[in-house]
Structure 1
Amino acid sequence: MKSLFVEGNSGMHRVSARAKLLVLAALGVMLFLTANLMLLALAVLAAAAVYFSIGLPPRSALARLKPIFLTILIVALFSLAFNPWHVAIVALLRLTALMLFATAVTATTTIAQFIDEITLLARPLERLGLLRADDVGLAVGLVVRFVPEILDRYRAIREAHAARGIKVRPTTVLVPLIILTLRDADNIAAAIDARGVRRHVN
């Protein structure tokens, strides 16, 4: 599997994983506490500056953003269909700023760091008997790790359609993508259990 992490020595790389995750959480809260277009636009510019400072070549940096912006655009269009234009623009700016910074965080934080921080964060809930912190950390790590795999699978399926002269439709792409993803998930779960990473609870 590939990782979203990018080797580098930028300012974001030098910041601790815990600090980045805390800033990301705080940014998410602050963005949804304001509807001021000027403040939100400044947040987008600041997040973009952070993202493009992590050392990725411009082409690679933009390629990573394509699926994210497509999702944001779809959400904004749905919002515009049911809300005034101002509300749709606010949603677009909020999500853009948040996703730009989140992408910078994932590009400068290793999977191991994600797992460690999420596991530590979940410890108090484990003491209350609500969950197992190690399982939560592992689950989050696998989700982050699966993202580039799913994107690569989507591109491969789309290219296979184009090579066969088949028109790309959501139904013809999503069904094989979901089947392949679920198959990989089963294989990974079996490998995890075979290595005794998860303790079985009767």
Structure 2
Amino acid sequence: MRTLYVQGDSLLHRLSPRLKLLLLAGASVALFVVSSLPLLGIMAVCSAGLYAMLGLSLRDSWQRLRPILLTIVIVALFTLLVDTPVQAATVLLRLTSLMLLAAAITATTGIGAFIDEITWLALPLERLGLMKASDIGLSVGLVIRFVPEVLLRYISIRDAHYARGLKPRPLTLAVPMIILTLRSADEIAAAIDARGLRGQK
């Protein structure tokens, strides 16, 4: 299976997962508090610099960021239609910075560390009797782990269309992707239950 994690020895790799998640939370708040375009531009450049520390090629970076980047561009264009150009630029810079920060942290933190930290953060909810912290950690870990698998599945379905001389369309791509993803989700859920990993009844 593919993974979002990138092997390396950068500063981000050496930071503790807990500190990285806290810094990401703080940066997210700062991004949505700041409204100055110059400051947001500086934050976007800094975020790009952190992501560049991963040492990925432009091609690999584009493949990783393309889906969410295209979504951000669409949101910014929609904002431009219903609001001012300044507001559209603000949305673009905020979301791009947040995307780059989240991608850098995801790429420098192993899935096991993510699950441990999310479980730790969810412990207050478990003490309140709302849910099992381990279930939340496992859910978040699975989402992060299978994002590249969903993207790979999309590419495979798209290439199969081209191989048959068919033009890929949103509906013909979405339907088999949804079916295959749900089938995988059922298989994973059955495997988790068979091993007794879920503590919540």
C-alpha separation between the residues in 1 aligned to 2:9 and 2:199? Answer: 38
Counterpart for residue 75 of structure 2: 75
Structure-2 residue corresponding to 1:19:
19
Contact 2:134 2:199 survives alignment (8 Å): no
TM-score normalized by the length of structure 1:
0.96
Which runs of 5 or more structure 1 residues have no equivalent in the other structure? none
In the other structure, the counterpart of 1:99 is: 99
Conservation of the 8 A alpha-carbon contact between 1:3 and 1:145: yes
Size of the aligned set, in residue pairs, is: 201
Range moving further from structure 2, 114-123 or 71-80: 71-80
Deviation at 1:167, TM superposition (A): 1.5
Task: Note the C-alpha offset of 1:10.
Answer: 0.8
Note closer, same or farther for the CA distance 1:200–1:134 as it changes in structure 2 (3 Å cut): closer
RMSD: 1.1
1:60–1:124: structure 2 CA closer, same or farther, 3 Å change rule?
same
CA contact (8 A) 1:52 1:61 kept: no
Percent pairwise identity: 58
Aligned 8 A contact 1:10 1:55 in 2? no
Segments of 4+ moved more than 3 angstroms: none
1:4 and 1:107 in contact (8 A); partners too: yes
CA distance in 1, matches of 2:57, 2:82: 38
Distance in 1 between residues matched to 2:49 and 2:124, nearest whole Å: 35
Contact map agreement 1:76 1:91 (CA 8 A) in 2: yes
2:158–2:168 CA contact under 8 A, matched in 1: yes
State how far apart, in whole Å, the 1-side matches of 2:199 and 2:29 are: 35
- Provide, for residues 180-200 of structure 1, a one-character-per-residue CA deviation record: whole Å limited to 9, x for no partner: 111100000000000111136
